[in-house]
Amino acid sequence: MDKKTVKKQLQLKGIPAAPGIVIGKAFIFGGNDLVPIERKIADKDIPREIEKYNSVILKTKKEILEIEKKISEELGVEHGKIFSAHLLVLEDPVLIEEVIARLKKQKKNIEIIFHEVLNKYIDVLSEAKDEYLRDRISDIIDVGNRILRNLMGAEGKGLDSLSEESVVIAYDLSPSDTAMMHRGKVLGFATDIGGRTSHTAIMAKSLEIPAVVGLENVTDAVQDGDTIIVDGNHGIVIVNPTKAFLAKYQKDKKKYDHMEEGLIELKFLPSETKDGKKIKLAANIELAEDVSSVLFHGAEGIGLYRTEYLFMNRNTLPSEEEQFKAYKLVAQRMKPSYVTIRTLDVGGDKFLSQLDVPREMNPFLGWRAIRFCLARPDIFKTQFRAILRASAFGKIRLMYPMISGVGEFVQAGAILEETKKELRKKQISFDENIEVGAMIEVPSAALTSGIIAREADFFSIGTNDLIQYSLAIDRVNEKIAYLYEPAHPAILNLIKTVIDNGHKEGISVGLCGEMGSDITLTIVLLGLGLDELSVSPIAIPEIKKVIRSVNFSVARQIADEIIRMSTGEEIHKFATNKMKELVPEIATELGIE
């Protein structure tokens, strides 16, 4: 008889973040493995570290109170009380005092100090004779790791150090955690929190790592080493599948991979409708390494290069030279196709520790993107110089994120002109005709796009933010993900306004948000008159298939009809039915309902 205990299968439903199916062993990330990197700090920075510690204590307290409330409601007050013990540890004055005293003495970053103190407590308690005290260890580890995770933010131990292929299970992953996966052995991942257009989800797509986010309790349901299936197409995670389920998913995986391989054959065919209307199909990238995938999937150019990833997972800013090398490499590899380099979009869910930007209450509404760059012309100009120099080696376009009105565009342009002048003086060559575009992702910019279009050479609509800001839906919050509706009439009308205003001024209008990868909306976006769609490289073959299967005249009629509808639900249903009618093979293959 096999004495091994068979674990019960569990199926969880979350938000599909990156397509594909993987099966592997679970690795719980962010548990006892949090190891901070040591940094020396100056005397003047001690108050900043203390402030960071205090604000993390507050944040952690809020999290614990929330869990306590949830558990009390769901399982009863008795269970909720466990977390009162966590609060006692969190607010223990002896612990707090010791951390601050060591910080002042040792002058090291707060994460490393806290880590040391935490380990000391654990060691002392492990030796304790009193059983009650020994039992407190798990509380201390639990709450200590929670504090540490909050302190470390984006600086956690990298996922590049996994020793074997695994499916990563985490409460949350920051975009920088995800960025590290490209060097690692991550087959797929599943998280408790997060939304479809969080930068973590976007990064997963770029890396072609199947992922499901917003599962709420995957970290509770899974143990290290459990067998996990991640179905990134449908947002499903299965823990310890039965033999029958395993066989079903192995078959589904084969079928999906086969379909993808089939679509790749479209690579050398143009992105045009049956009646000959061309729409540029470009790719979004985060890292210079992504270019291989862009070329493999047959993109016509790069519609969005999110340069902030070059600034992540490091203690210093990338120098002009380092940036220049990365931009030049991308430009050269893509030549003669174009590369749209977006200037630094720091802030929101992309926190860069080395920039010393204070944590904000509403980071997506705060000191982000162009606002940050205009206030830090030193950083902005370094990036400009690197981009301009690289423009001598390929076809580069430049683009500003989060423009809210023409003023910011003009201000950024003045700094760019200054930089160009300096380069000319030094006889450093660059593309004198470099095109400069604006991302339209703030409602005020969409509504004044007619004015901005007189200054800009092109537009690219960033729907991830445009939806977030127009519908007041935090793009990374899984609790309100159901309200994040790309097909909302407000969004389609804003997109139409931007396209029409751009075309009136004779400039091209693209779209580079995740909405562009939603194949149920491809026909609508085509019909609205977009000149370019820029999507994750893996989405390109499917989108191309849809474009090549329809007539532009029909797409236009569909868009005309849809733009007059009253609800997102109605629009979504209509668009999906049209897609199923016009491209049935792909709708069936992808299981679109």
Phi, psi for 118 (deg, rounded to 5): -60, -45
Q: Which does 512 bind (CB under 5 to 8 A by kind): Mg ion, ligand PEP, none?
A: ligand PEP
In the region spanning residues 452 to 481, those forming contacts with Mg ion, defined by CB under 5 A, are 462, 465
Interacting residues with ligand PEP between 191 and 210 (CB under 6 A): 202
125: enclosing H helix or E strand = helix 110-127
Q: Of residues 199, 297, 488, 572, which has the active-site annotation?
A: 199
What residues from 424 to 443 belong to the interface with Mg ion (CB under 5 A)?
441
* 3 state SS for 492-534: HHHHHHHHHHHHHCCCEEEECCHHHHCCCCHHHHHHHCCCEEE
Q: How many CB atoms neighbour CB 74 within 10 A? A: 9
Cross-strand bridge partners of residue 282: 534
Q: Judged by CB, which is closer to Mg ion: 462, or 541? A: 462
**Nearest-approach distance from CB 399 to ligand PEP, in angstroms:** 10
Considering the candidates 86, 297, 512, 572, report the single residue annotated as catalytic: 512
Instruction: Select 99 or 304, whichever has its Cβ closest to ligand PEP.
Output: 304
Choose the stretch contacting ligand PEP; rule: CB under 6 A; options: 230-238, 247-255, 405-413, 460-468: 460-468
Residue of 416, 500, 514, 414 lying closest to 459 (CA atoms): 500
Residue 304's binding partner out of ligand PEP, Mg ion, none, with CB under 5 to 8 Å set by partner kind: ligand PEP
Amino acid at 331: A
Q: Which of 236, 221, 198 is nearest to 14 (CA)?
A: 236
The residue (of 465 and 478) whose beta carbon lies closer to Mg ion is 465
- Closest CB 491 distance from Mg ion, rounded Å: 14
Q: Which is nearer to ligand PEP, 169 or 440 (CB)?
A: 440
State the DSSP string of 432-482.
TT-EEEEEE-SHHHHHTHHHHTTT-SEEEE-HHHHHHHHHT--TT-GGGGG
Query: Which partner in Mg ion, ligand PEP, none is near 550 (CB below 5 to 8 A by kind)?
Result: none
Q: How many CB atoms lie within 10 A of CB 504?
A: 12
512 labelled catalytic: yes
Supply the minimum distance, in Å, between the C-beta of residue 284 and ligand PEP: 7
Interface residue with ligand PEP among 112, 140, 159, 304 (CB under 6 A) is 304
What are the CA-CA distances from residue 293 to residues 206, 269, 284, 301, 347 (Å)? 8, 17, 10, 12, 27
Least distance (Å) from ligand PEP to the CB of residue 58? 28
24: Cβ contacts below 8 Å, ≥ 6 apart: 165, 166, 167, 187, 188, 227, 228
Residue 150 vs 343, nearer CB to ligand PEP: 343
Burial (CB < 10 A; 0-12, 13-18, 19+), residue 238, is buried
Copy the structure tokens of residue 46.
Answer: 């001690």
Task: Return left, alpha or beta for 234; rule: phi > 0 is left, psi -120 to 50 is alpha, else beta.
Answer: alpha
Question: What Cα–Cα distance (Å) separates residue 191 from each residue in 44, 72, 222, 506?
Answer: 38, 23, 11, 44
| Contact status, residue 470 vs residue 422, Cβ threshold 8 Å | no
Query: With contact defined as beta carbons under 8 Å apart, do 538 and 296 qualify?
Result: no
Return the SS3 of 304. strand
Decide: is 464 part of the binding site for ligand PEP (CB under 6 A).
Answer: yes
Q: Which two tokens stand for residue 556?
A: 């236009």
Block residue for tokens 């830090």: 376
Q: From Mg ion, ligand PEP, none, which one binds at residue 211 (CB under 5 to 8 Å depending on kind)?
A: none
Decide: is 463 part of the binding site for ligand PEP (CB under 6 A): yes
373 has catalytic annotation = no
Nearer to ligand PEP among residue 173 and residue 304 (C-beta) = 304
517 binds ligand PEP (CB under 6 A): no
| Bridge partners, residue 40, by sequence | 108
CB atoms within 10 A of CB 39: 16
Choice between 90 and 512, CB closer to ligand PEP: 512
Residue in this structure with the two tokens 């257009």, named with its chain if needed: 197
Q: What is the DSSP letter of 350?
A: B
235 binds, among ligand PEP, Mg ion, none (CB under 5 to 8 A by kind): none
Dihedral sign computed on CA atoms, order 288, 290, 292, 295:
negative
Binding residue (CB under 6 A) for ligand PEP from 512, 519, 558, 587: 512
Q: For ligand PEP, which residue of 465, 478, 485, 518 counts as binding (CB under 6 A)?
A: 465
Q: Which positions from 337 to 356 touch ligand PEP by CB under 6 A, shown as an x/- string?
A: --------x-----------
Residue from 408, 441, 485, 542 touching ligand PEP (CB under 6 A): that is: 441
We find the least distance from the C-beta atom of residue 513 to ligand PEP, in angstroms, to be: 3
Closest distance to ligand PEP from the beta carbon of 95 (Å): 38
Least separation, in Å, of the C-beta of 400 and ligand PEP? 12
Q: Which is nearer to Mg ion, 253 or 350 (CB)?
A: 350
499 binds, among ligand PEP, Mg ion, none (CB under 5 to 8 A by kind): none
The least CB distance from residue 532 to Mg ion, in Å, is 16
Q: Which of 115, 306, 385, 545 binds ligand PEP (CB under 6 A)?
A: 306
Size of residue set near ligand PEP by CB under 6 A: 11
Residue placing its CB nearer to Mg ion in the complex, 441 or 514: 441
From the list 461-469, 551-559, 564-572, 582-590, the region that binds ligand PEP by CB under 6 A is: 461-469
Choose among 574, 104, 530, 2: nearest CA to 280. Answer: 530
| CB 579 to ligand PEP: min, Å | 22
* Closest approach of ligand PEP to the CB of residue 202, in Å: 6
Query: In this structure, are residues 99 and 114 in contact, taking their beta carbons and an 8 Å threshold?
Result: yes
Task: Name the binder of 303 from ligand PEP, Mg ion, none, CB < 5-8 A by kind.
Answer: none
**In angstroms, what is the minimal distance from the CB of 514 to Mg ion?**
10
Q: Of 16, 363, 462, 537, which lies in the binding site for ligand PEP, with binding defined by CB under 6 A?
A: 462
3-state class (DSSP) for residue 16:
strand
Picking from 139, 40, 155, 130, the residue whose alpha carbon sits closest to that of residue 84 is 139
Q: Which is nearer to ligand PEP, 263 or 535 (CB)?
A: 535
Q: How far apart are CA 12 and CA 517, in angstroms?
A: 24
Q: Which residues are catalytic?
A: 199, 512
Which residues sit at the interface with ligand PEP, rule CB under 6 A?
A: 202, 304, 306, 345, 441, 462-465, 512-513
Which residues sit at the interface with Mg ion, rule CB under 5 A?
A: 441, 462, 465
